[in-house]
Amino acid sequence: MRHRRKVPKLSMTRPRRRSVLAGQAKALILYGKVDTTPARAKATQQLVERLVTWARRGDQAARRLAFSVLQDKEATHKLFEEIGPKYQDRPGGYTRVLKLGPRRGDGAERARLTWV
C-alpha cells in the first residue's frame, strides 16, 4: 500500500531510486540545471527542497544530514556556502520544473529542473 508515501517509486528498487535522486540533486547543486523525465524531476525537486531547507538552517547536524544524502563534499559545501544563504529569506519553492519537448531518440517526455 502507498499510505503516506510521497516519493513515487519510478519503477526502481529503493537503493537505486535513492542513488538516482541523490545523483540528480548533486548535479543540480553543482551545475544549476538537470534535464530528465518529468516524474524524476518532481521526485528530485522534493529532495532538493529538503536539502536547501537544511542548508538555510546551516548547523552541523544539518550539514551531516545533507552529506548523508549527497555523499559529496564539494556539493555539500556549495549547498551550505552559496545556495543556503541565497535562499535565506525565501520560505520554500527554491526550484522549478519546466517542460521540454520530446526526446529525439525515443519520444520520451523531458523536463528541466532549475533554480528559481
In this predicted model, what pLDDT tens digit does every residue of 2-50 receive, in sequence order?
Answer: 898 888 999 999 999 999 999 999 999 999 999 999 999 999 999 999 9
Task: Provide the residue ranges of all domains of the chain, joining segments of one domain with +.
Answer: 14-103+110-115
Residue 46 backbone dihedrals phi, psi, to 5 degrees: -60, -45
Whole-structure pTM over 0.85, yes or no? yes
**What pLDDT score does 3 carry?**
93
* Spatial CB neighbours of 69, under 8 Å, sequence gap ≥ 6: 22, 25, 47, 51
Architecture of domain 14-103+110-115: Alpha-Beta Complex (3.90)
Q: What is the DSSP string of the chain?
A: --TT--S--TTS-HHHHHHHHHHHHHHHHHHSEEEE-HHHHHHHHHHHHHHHHHHHH-SHHHHHHHHHHH--HHHHHHIIIIIHHHTTT--S--EEEEEEPPPTTT---EEEEEE-
Q: Average pLDDT, stretch 71-94?
A: 98
Distance CA 96, CA 45 (A): 8
